[in-house]
Every structure is written in C-alpha cells, then in structure tokens.
Amino acid sequence: MSKLYFKIFLSFWLVMILTVVSSSFITHWFNLGADKHLVAKHDDPFDGPGGRLLREIVSNAVNFPLEEVTHGLQQMPEWAIESLYILDETGEDVLRRPLPETVATFSGKVTDKHPFYRKRLNQYTVYVRQIQLIDGHRVKLIATPPNDNSFGWKLFFNNAWIFLLTCILITGLCCYFIARYMSRDFNTIKKATMSLAEGDWNARISDGVCSGHTEFSKLARNFNYMADNLQKSMLEQKRLIKDVSHELRSPLARLQVALAIVQQKANDEIKDELFRIKDAADYLNDVISNILSLPINDQQSWQLDDVVELNSMLSLVVDQNRPEADDKQVNVIFRSKLDEAIVMSRSNTLVGVFDNVLRNAVHYTAEATTIDVLLDQCGENYCIRFQDQGPGVPEENLKGIFKPFFRTCEARNRESGGYGLGLAIAERTIKLHHGTISAKNVDPTGLEVEINLPRTNLDE
C-alpha cells in the first residue's frame, strides 16, 4: 500500500467522519431531529437539558407498560437517573429510591387537569410531567438536571455513540475500497516506473490497466509508448558503440602492422618513442576488445573467469601514466594498505577502468600538483580512490559523468578530445564486477573517484 493510498483513504474517511459528526451535532444543538416537537419556541428560557430529557422520556415511555419503563430506567447511566425520577400512583419512585425534598415538593404540582409544570430554582430547573402509560398506569416524571450544557451533551453522546461508531466504521470500509480502487492503477504504474528507472527496459504496464478511457489508462499507454522508445534508443546506442568498435579494428590492425615494420627499420634514437606508440595502440586494441565483450543488456551473461591482484595492476597503470604526468610536472603517488588484494575479473578489463580514471585525473589536475591513488579495504570490499587537484565537477553533474556522451563542459571536452564514453564504460565494467564507482568533490579543489570491488578469498 502506497502513501497515495493512505492519503486518499484518510482524506475520504476524515471527510465522512466530519460530515456525520457535525450533522449530528447540529441536529442536537438546534433540536432538528425527526422527533422535534411541533410548537418550538427557540427563545424559551426553559428549553434546556431538563426539557429535552423530559421530552425524550415521555416520547418513549407512553408506548410501554410500567414494568418495561422501570426496566429501561434501570439501564440508563447513573449520572442520568440521578436527575430523573418516575413516581408511580402511590407517589414512590419506581426504583424505590428515597425522594429528595425538591422532588417530593414538586410532585404534587401536577394533576390530570394540569399535567405539566416547571420551575426555575437557583441551580436547577425542575420539570414535572404526568402521563398515562399504555397499561393504564399514571406516572409522574420529574427531571432536575443542572442548567449547564454538559448534561445535554452527555445525554447526546449516550444516545448517539452507537450510531456515530456505526457510521464511522461503515464509512471507513467504503473509503477503504474506494481508495484501493483509485490507487491500484497508480501503484502498478509506479512499480513499472521504478523498474524502468533501475534499468529493466522490458518493464511494461499490463493491458488490463491500459484498456479503458480513464486518466490512469491514458497515462499507462503513454508510459508504454515512452518505454518502447527508450528501449529502442538505448539498444541502438549500445549497438552503435559496438559497431564503431568493430570499424576501428581494421585501421588499428593496419596501424599495428605498419608500426611493427617501422620498429624493424628504426634506429635507436626513436625506438623509445615507437615503444610508447605501440603501447598506446595495444591499449586501444584492448579497450575495443573490452567494449565488444560487454553485454548489450543486463540480461546477457558476463562471466568473471579470472583473478587479478590489485597492487600489481595499479602499480602498472601508474607507471604507464607517469610520462604524461611528468609532462605536467604532476606527481602520481600510489599507496596501498594491503599486502595482497585479489578480485575476480575478466581478462584485463579492470586495467582499462583504472587507466581511464587515472588519465582523466592527470589531464584535469593542475600543473605541479599531486595525484593520490590509494588502495584500502572497506568492509567486504576493496576500495580504490583516485584524488586529483583539478577544478572538480559541479555537484549536479557528479552522477551524470558516468552516463554515455555526457559532458560537463562542451568547450573543455572539445579541447581534450573526449566524447564522454570512458567513464560510462568504466561504470558499466565495474557494475559487471558487482562493484560500484562514484565521484565527489574534495576541499579545497579536486575530484575523488572511488571504486569498490568485492574481495575474493582464494581459500574458500
């Protein structure tokens, strides 16, 4: 059950409760019930709680014999019968209670010719009424409640609480089904939206919700249309990356052949530069191979069939990037708090991830600064942190830098020659290793990229 369900349910129920309770209060306050006496004098100073009590007793008692009236009086709450006495033809209370002096004094004020009498005292208004019951007995009803409104409200709640409780329960049940019906389709759309946001491109809303002409049905059809287009776009984008990678392999292969020929004919002066070119070409070939090995979607399998040691791998990556760092007078420092850190991997895919992150750090860090590469253990994971001293990334773009073709600055990316694919491929690769990658800005300036990989115990 969603928050929307509870909002609809509680809103409807509170409105119904307010309607029932307020209408009952108004009926009681203005004496608007169905048994309202025909000649009502709203300005009658005697029309108080005692008068209402007397009218209710009279309207009920005249239709029953004395025995049942006595039994009904016994069922009334104690606070009510303290203010009410019913005297039989002998002048005694039907409940055999001793009569207060006020009751005894005013009981003789009514006769067959004058069956009604009332008198206001200091704190009370006394109401006396003589009636004949259905069995022929004549009884005198004497009500002496206080003149405050609390008695009237207590009398109202005593008579109406069962009615109010029944109405509240019935309206609550009705509101439950109404809220359930109204929020059912919303919850279906919400679940499909969350599934789509989590990467399930096959998430769709069933035809049962889409059929019909309600607003939810229209929304569901629009959602399915949107999901179809998104799925097509994502698949086309991923296929495009792989198609481009395939096309790059042919010129790269020719480049490697030509480079091998040049290396055979080159003199010693340029051999070091040629080796650097060869390393770059080999790295590019590895990146293309890794891209081609990545599954197009999450449903395809991607087996981790190898183990690698992170200390040696990171040391290698740092050494490979030192020449570029030296050109900017940047000092790359690798520190490890672990003697050995082994993780499951696939081929040399992690090399490409670490290399890409470190190359970005070298590129964007300021000249004559330091880049820290730290390997540590965080719980059940190994964490690798790359921290530079560059300008950082705007806070709103920290998650976006791991999306394909995302650029935080058009001018900067054109200058660097980047197309926003490196970190996207890195994020995809780390995810397939069951790890995580994130970025955050550090003080005073700089960006820290943290990679978490589950550690592997070879003894298990």
**Rounded to 5, what percent of the chain is helix, strand, coil?**
55, 15, 30
Instruction: Region of 129 please: left (phi>0), alpha (psi -120 to 50) or beta.
Output: beta
pLDDT of residue 381: 94
Terminal CA-to-CA distance of the chain, rounded, Å?
42
pLDDT of residue 149: 62
Q: Are strands 331-336 and 370-378 parallel, antiparallel or unpaired?
A: parallel
Token duo for residue 436: 């995580």
Report d(CA 243, CA 253) in Å as an integer.
Answer: 16
Dump pLDDT digits (tens) for 122-139: 777 788 889 888 888 999
DSSP string across 40-96: --TT-TT-SHHHHHHHHHHHHHTTS-HHHHHHHHHHS-HHHHTTEEEE-TTS-BTT-
DSSP state of 400: G
Per-residue three-class SS string for 200-233: CCCCCCCHHHHCCCCHHHHHHHHHHHHHHHHHHH
Q: Where are the alpha helices (DSSP H) in 294-368?
A: 310-327, 349-364
pLDDT of residue 411: 36
Question: Other C-beta atoms within 10 Å of 14: how many?
Answer: 12
pLDDT of residue 413: 46
Report d(CA 12, CA 9) in Å as an integer.
Answer: 5
Low-confidence stretches of the chain (pLDDT beneath 50): 38-39, 41, 299, 410-419
Closest CA to 433 of 381, 387, 386: 381
pLDDT of residue 375: 96
Question: CATH code for 215-293?
Answer: 1.10.287.130
In the chain, CATH 1.10.287.130 covers 215-293
DSSP state of 374: E
Q: Are strands 370-378 and 436-441 parallel, antiparallel or unpaired?
A: unpaired
pLDDT of residue 113: 85
Report d(CA 418, CA 426) in Å as an integer.
Answer: 14
Q: Widest CA span of the chain, in angstroms? A: 143
Tell the residue number behind the tokens 């920290």, with chain if given: 398
Cα 432–chain centre separation: 29
Report d(CA 130, CA 86) in Å as an integer.
Answer: 9
In the chain, CATH 3.30.565.10 covers 306-454
To 5 degrees, how large is the angle CA 269–CA 322–CA 346? 110
pLDDT of residue 153: 67
Fold of 3-161: Beta-Lactamase (3.30.450)
Dump pLDDT digits (tens) for 286-304: 667 666 666 655 545 567 8
In the chain, CATH 3.30.450.160 covers 3-161
- Name the architecture of domain 306-454: 2-Layer Sandwich (3.30)
